[in-house]
Amino acid sequence: MKFSVTAIFLFTVFSTIGHLRAQHDPHFWTGHSTIVHLFEWKYSDIAQECERWLGPRGFGGIQLSPVNENVIVAPPASDNNRPWWERYQPISYKLTTRSGTEADFLDMSQRCNAVGVRLYVDIIINHMAAHPDDGSTGHGTGGSTAVPQDRDFPAVPYILSDFNPSCEITDWNDAEMIRNCELFGLPDLDQSIETVRNELVAFMDHLIDLGVAGFRVDAAKHMWPADLEVIYGRLKNLNTDFGFSAGARAFMMQEVIDNGDHEVVRKYEYNHLGTVTEFMFSYYMGRAFRGNDELVWLESFGEDWGLLPSRDALVFVDNHDNQRHDFGTILTYKLPKPYKMAVAFGAAYPFGQLRIMSSFAFDDLDIGPPMDSNGNIISPSINTDNTCGNGWVCEHRWRQIANMIKFRNICWDTPIANWWSNGENKIAFSRGSQGFVAFNNQGVDFLEVLQTGLAPGIYCDVISGDKEGNSCTGKKITVLEDGRASIHIAHDAEDGVLAIHVESRL
């Protein structure tokens, strides 16, 4: 059969578009959703967590900390803890870090995929580690050791010509400088060079062979979209040995910090390539649940607010960067009541691809995960109430957050209905006939009779407790024959949110 030149051109264009749009699919198992960032966890602990908590609780996947060999940052003599940001200074693509070896990674991948929890690797493909003598130390402070000299990274290998000419980003209104100069003084790879592309594709393909479902692309804003399009397009399909369908493409989460129209590099330049980090979600959630904006305005929340289209937006209340640097704006585990409310809204409101943070405790902004005197990561301990110890926060194990992920899964693909507000800081809505949620961010009690959209019966409020058999450890809500229920949230309650769904019916 013969094809015209025009037909061949159109086939190529539409095939490429379809190839790239497929990179928006996170490949969740049915009945699972939401990505949790297990920040700096060991692979052996992640494998256990998939089997005992994440899989059974319906979590969709895990964002992993960078998995390839990185610079070792010498800690102060008084502190045996190395900073978290050393993981963002790679020296090779060998799969060995303080989280474990390649063999540990494969064991984790097999065990997590087997229980329906996908893996997404945080990859550093914009730069390599800083030269030890140039005074550049990445995200934080301190000195680095064991870094190859003169931008020669023989373990990759990279040589000087694989990098852009050395220059500092001095003008954040210059897109070319942002993409071609050095972020935090880190040697900037030139992704237009074929040898660089070959190394990056080989690195990512190897992770695909090991069963990952996709990638979180660090510093995507600092790379040209056209270069990323080539690199993404050359990747293998996902490995069917790990339960992916034939022809499945890697899910992409691209870090583009875009805080509004004043930015010269925009999130809209990257969303055709996959999802993009929607930092404005963090900002608006922080403002609303800190009480700086009224909750009533959230009825229209989404693209009309200047956010990306829902399918393109990776949304989060906080992440490992802004929880350390945007005090007064971003909500974190340090303000548990409004934080849980914001995460609950993100889980209940059908916008974006949701990712939640699972932190270790910190006061020092540079400090790394809990470690022993030899620099080995200490495993989280699990308390009797399912929370974590040993210095780990584990927000994903908080009852209020874990139960809202189940709410999200149950209400998947159902519309918002029965929106109600008092015109200020009390709101409620249902998700079709599957679930109902209410929020009180006002200094007085919430006491209203509202339409829940649910069938009549007695329901367990999954925020204040758990359904255990035919009983409830928290509040019980009675839904009448007409779907209405009396909703009460005290202004001084531990949690400012209430949620019920069809599977919490007693």
**Residues noted as catalytic:** 218, 255
Is the bond preceding residue 157 a cis peptide, omega within 30 degrees?
A: yes
Q: Which tokens go with 420?
A: 């109600």
Cβ neighbours for 225, distance < 8 A, ≥ 6 positions apart? 269, 270, 273
Q: Which residues pair with 487 in a beta bridge?
A: 448
Q: Which residues pair with 498 in a beta bridge?
A: 438
Cβ neighbours for 181, distance < 8 A, ≥ 6 positions apart? 164, 167, 168, 169, 188
- Other Cβ atoms less than 10 A from the Cβ of 194: the count is 8
Is-contact 390 423, C-beta < 8 A? Answer: no
- Going from the C-alpha of 387 to that of each of 43, 240, 282, 339, 397, the distances in angstroms are 19, 35, 24, 16, 6
Instruction: Reduce the DSSP state of residue 203 to 3 states and report it.
Output: helix
Q: Could you tell me the end-to-end alpha-carbon distance of the chain, in angstroms, rounded to an integer? A: 64
Handedness of CA 452, 458, 464, 467 (dihedral sign): negative
Instruction: Reduce the DSSP state of residue 225 to 3 states and report it.
Output: helix
Determine which helix (DSSP H) or strand (DSSP E) holds 448, and give its type and residue range.
Answer: strand 446-451
Is-contact 91 128, C-beta < 8 A? Answer: yes
Distance of CA 356 to the CA centre of its chain: 6
Buried b / exposed e along 235-271 (16+ C-beta atoms within 10 A): beebbeebbbeeebbbbbbbbbebeeeebebebebbb
Is-contact 367 324, C-beta < 8 A? Answer: no
